[in-house]
A and B are shown apart, each in its own frame.
Chain A
Amino acid sequence: MANLKIDGIAVEIADGSTILQAAQAAGINVPTLCYHPDQSVKANCRICVCEVEGQRLLQAACSTPVAGGMVVKTNSAKVLKARRLILKLILAHHPQDCLNCTRNKNCELQTLAEEYGIRDNPFELKLKGYAEDNSTRAVVRDQDKCIVCRRCVETCSVVQTVNALCVEDRGSDIMVAPVLGKSLAETACILCGQCIHACPVGAIHENEQIDEFLAAVADPDKIVVTQIAPAVRVAIGEEVGLATGEMPMGKFVAGLKHIGIDYVLHTNFTADLTILEEGNELLRRVKEGGKLPMFTSCSPGWINFCETFFPDLLDNLSTCKSPQQMFGALVKTYWAEKMKVDPSKIYSVSIMPCTAKKGEAARPEMSDSGFRDVDLVLTTREVGRLFRMSGIDFDKIQPGEFDPWMGKYTGAAVIFGATGGVMEAALRTVYEVVTGETLADVNFTAVRGMDGIKEATVNLAGLEVRVAVGHSLGNARKLMDQVRAGESPYHFIEIMCCPGGCIGGGGQPITKCNAKRAERIGGIYVEDEQCPIRKSHENPEVKQIYEDFLHEPLGHKSHQLLHTHYAPKNKSIL
């Protein structure tokens, strides 16, 4: 342990801690920009510099280890002078358009400018005038806003191992850019949007489609139907001033009706359906000697990753469409039939925690209903903006209810939102289908939580089934390398593209750290516990759709509407 003084406050902290950690322990907020709690220390913004007695140079709090007897001043005149000048230098190289920015009121630089009272700037505004990179359908880069903290680069290269972004050029020309001078779409970018969470400013954001939504709800000829992904509810409250997990589902539904949506249904319904299809697919592969291990296919960023980096393993992917796309194919067929509406008038909007879903909905093959299965994907953040725009007071709004046929769901669907959830939901159903017995305890806790790779073995009537769960693509890569080498011991592997699973998706409220992801996961399991039904095969509407429409899992209709195929991306850049 080291004993030191920070602004006169005595602190005792473990050796190897940094001044930043010691300051936090002392209750002193040292400003940061390039620092990210889940990443390596970069120390390149220098905004956290502090004065250390006996040192001529100011020391970056994020990178300087504490030492016994150290005397630190975090707010001396010398420190404040340096920080304010550094802020002015950044601001003079940054567009002055906070009012128009997606990160207005949620920007680390803007916050610092306010906290440090930056009122005027002696430096002339200099911008390079880069064009916006909107080459992908999901993620937009605004190069001029980049302050080159490199948090996105580390996310892309270390967390996701995609390496779409790199640091180019030097000096004041330095920039973070898609590799090899390409547009983002030409790189290996898999649209996960984790770079958006990493960005302290508005240099990367989702392809915002609020205008398209407003036009659709204003169009009297359109029947606007929405689905909500499992991970959205637990986070949407953060967008409207509620705590994580605090939005009751009924109020969420009422809010969506308030912004003009005609029918509110739930992706959770197709999540349950996915379990029936995917669970049976797994059993068929095991019985008939199909390709194993089978990989889950719910996460479109993961699908893009597999098609890009592991095209030789595409046969291992479950042929099940993601719940979003199953929903899209059914809403314009089954649901239209049940509701007796013209499917051509249905405008299918999905509310997703995800940026890659925008790309998935646009895939040419996703039109098995005879129409575009999903017309528009809005992220949780975009829906948050729509809620704020509509002035809804969620304390006072009366709860609403889901519309019929595709709005019922079980706890098994709810947990799709967290890493390990699809696996756990599948095990709940597969166990009962195979053994014919009722599960004594539906909780498979071994596959829960933030560990990068989790594994479990389940005995299904004598058959030892080995499963693994990986979240974030760095972990996926480890599991895939094992499969490619022929050394994978597993039968079934769940992969979610984003850290923590969908609750940490690229479209969720800006999430700087994994601690917030863990908090959302907590909210997911609370909701699961509260569900009266917690096994997908017991969902009454799922039973109904098999009786009335699909007839059997993996049957002809399912094959036509609920399953798909994959193709190598063949990215020339690789």
Chain B
Amino acid sequence: MPQELRIVLRNVDKIDALKIDDYIDANGYKPLEKARSMPQADLIQEIRQSGLRGRGGAGFNTGQKLAFTYSAAGDQKYIVCNADEGEPGTYKDRVIMQSDPHAVIEGMAICGYAVGATKGYIYCRGEYPYVAEILNAAIAQAKEKDVLGEFDVEVCLGAGAFVCGEETALIESIEGKRGEPRCKPPYPPVSGLWGKPTVVANVETLANLPQIVDRGSGWFAAIGAAGYPGTKVLTLTGDVVNRKYIEVPTNTTIKEVIYEFGGGIAGGRKFQAVQIGGNSGGIIPESLLGTQIAFDAMAAVGATLGSGAVFVMDETRDLRDVVCRMAKFFEHESCGKCIPCREGTMRMFDLCEKVGQGKGTAADLALLQEIGETMAVACFCGLGQAAPTPVLTAIKHFDLLAGKGCA
């Protein structure tokens, strides 16, 4: 029986999130002290060697990101925590921030020291005002205890746009502009918030940092899958017995997640499909359940790890209905900036609706595929590039025209 391994969730149910002393008693803010005793370049090297990669979905090496920002010239640099957790079915960042806000703040302060940034922003999802309150309380306590030194953190509440989870759209939003992605390059480590070198990192990524600094890169690199070491926090939803969150090493298979941690399919029904990574993720058939929940392993089977949402569908779900709702989500959340996304998501939704009503034809599926394949390579940002994934994977692995239980 595989076991959970709690690194970022280590303090859940063990400390009071609103008591900084609890966090400090649990070895909190000592890693920050340790980090500050190291030369910046050594600290960055240590983080790079841990192999930690971004937990928001893009999987970029965190140490590398810090190194770029460290090397970039700038009179001011920023650390931005991406807490705009918008993928449906994902709530891992909320759990981390609610139960252990100081781990995130400490992670930001470590990054701040590493790259020479004295200011941080937490861009918190607009639907999480209560989380923002917790964060603000924690920041106030940290300032009172003077554990952050020069480093200042501010919470910025989003306004509900899914696209603001994209790092450059998030930056635009903090700057008070329309939430829309920017051209890359330049990437944020070179020119980010207000044109200054900026580290944008996910909540879960940042919460890993104090532990990595404390226990060393070797310890972390040995956990889980080699190319994507450490753990991943997953949120189980849908037709699974245990709808809960877990933190497991990244070499855990999807099958173990669903059947060991999730307790299998609810109601004794049969498995049909699972979608991992939120609406932007692929819909995976039973034949691929042996895949590890690591970035590269998922990519190798044409799926994504993404945010780590695990949405299980049993045999009674009509996949046509499922993909139609997802298409509607993207049609609604497209920012409208680029043509393939704003027109493509709208047309994909139209066609999915037709297919969902049982009126679809082979030509409709072919057109869906054509739009999806173009969007995947031609859209401006990750939202549009990922938007067709559920539809494309559903077409690939299932017979959508057959409808319910089409596996």
Contact = CB atoms under 8 A, between A and B. Distances in A.
Interface of A: 41, 43-47, 49, 56-58, 60, 63, 65, 78, 81-82, 85-86, 89-90, 92-93, 122-124, 126, 147-148, 167, 169-174
Nearest to B377: A58
B64 interface: no
Contacts of A173: 336
B358 to A, nearest CB: 19
Given A56-B377, A81-B374, A172-B345, A86 B336 contact: no
B343 A46 contact: no
A170 B378 contact: no
Contacts of B335: 170-171, 174
A86 B375 CA distance: 9
A147 B183 CA distance: 19
Contact of A57 (B346, B350, B385): B385
A17 to B, nearest CB: 13
A2 to B, nearest CB: 14
Given A171-B335, A173-B336, A85 B374 contact: yes
B344 A46 contact: no
B336 A170 contact: yes
Contacts of A49: 377-378
Contact of B339 (A41, A45, A58, A122): A45
A381 to B, nearest CB: 28
Interface in B156-182: 161, 178
Nearest to A148: B336
17 contacts: A44-B338, A44-B339, A58-B377, A63-B183, A78-B377, A81-B374, A82-B340, A89-B343, A90-B339, A93-B343, A122-B367, A126-B346, A148-B339, A171-B342, A172-B334, A172-B336, A173-B336
A126 B332 CA distance: 17
B283 to A, nearest CB: 20
B339 A46 contact: yes
Interface in B328-371: 331-340, 342-347, 350, 367, 370-371
A49 B346 CA distance: 21
Contact of B347 (A65, A82, A123): A123
B149 interface: no
B2 interface: no
Nearest to A172: B346
Q: Which of B345, B380, B385 has the most CB of A within 10 A?
A: B380
The 6 lowest CB-CB distance pairs between A and B, nearest first, are: A174-B336, A89-B343, A172-B346, A171-B334, A58-B377, A85-B374
A172 B349 CA distance: 11
A123 B347 CA distance: 8
A171 B378 contact: no
Contacts of B367: 122
Interface in B169-212: 178, 183, 185
A123 B183 CA distance: 29
Query: Which residue, of B332, B346, B374, B378, has the highest number of chain A Cβ atoms within 10 A?
Result: B378
B379 interface: yes
A175 to B, nearest CB: 9
A172 B335 CA distance: 8
B2 to A, nearest CB: 32
B373 to A, nearest CB: 8
Interface of B: 161, 178, 183, 185, 331-340, 342-347, 350, 367, 370-371, 374, 377-380, 385
A171 B331 contact: yes
Nearest to B343: A89
A150 to B, nearest CB: 9
A41 B378 contact: no
B336 A169 contact: yes
A167 B378 CA distance: 22
A132 B385 CA distance: 34
Contacts of B178: 167
B384 to A, nearest CB: 9
A46 B331 contact: no
B334 A58 contact: no
A172 B340 contact: no
B50 to A, nearest CB: 27
A76 B40 CA distance: 46
Contacts of B385: 57
A45 B183 CA distance: 13
B340 A171 contact: no
B134 to A, nearest CB: 30
Given A49-B378, A78-B377, A174-B342, A85 B336 contact: no
A203 B243 CA distance: 52
A86 B183 contact: no
B280 to A, nearest CB: 15
Nearest to A63: B183
B362 to A, nearest CB: 13
Contact of B333 (A44, A124, A171): A171
B371 A44 contact: no
A89 B342 CA distance: 9
Contacts of A58: 377-378
B130 to A, nearest CB: 26
A89 to B, nearest CB: 4
Given A85-B340, A86-B378, 8 more contacts: A43-B338, A46-B379, A58-B377, A81-B370, A86-B374, A89-B344, A93-B343, A171-B346
A176 to B, nearest CB: 11
A90 B345 CA distance: 13
Nearest to A40: B183
A148 B340 CA distance: 12
Given A85-B371, A86-B378, A41 B183 contact: yes
B378 A46 contact: yes
Contacts of B334: 170-172
Contacts of A56: 377
Contact of A172 (B331, B370, B377, B379): B331
A82 B336 contact: no
Nearest to A126: B346
Given A82-B378, A85-B370, A92 B336 contact: no
Contacts of B338: 43-46
Nearest to B367: A122
A44 B180 CA distance: 11
A93 to B, nearest CB: 6
B346 A86 contact: no
B350 to A, nearest CB: 8
A57 B384 CA distance: 12
A126 B338 CA distance: 18
A341 to B, nearest CB: 57
Contacts of B185: 65
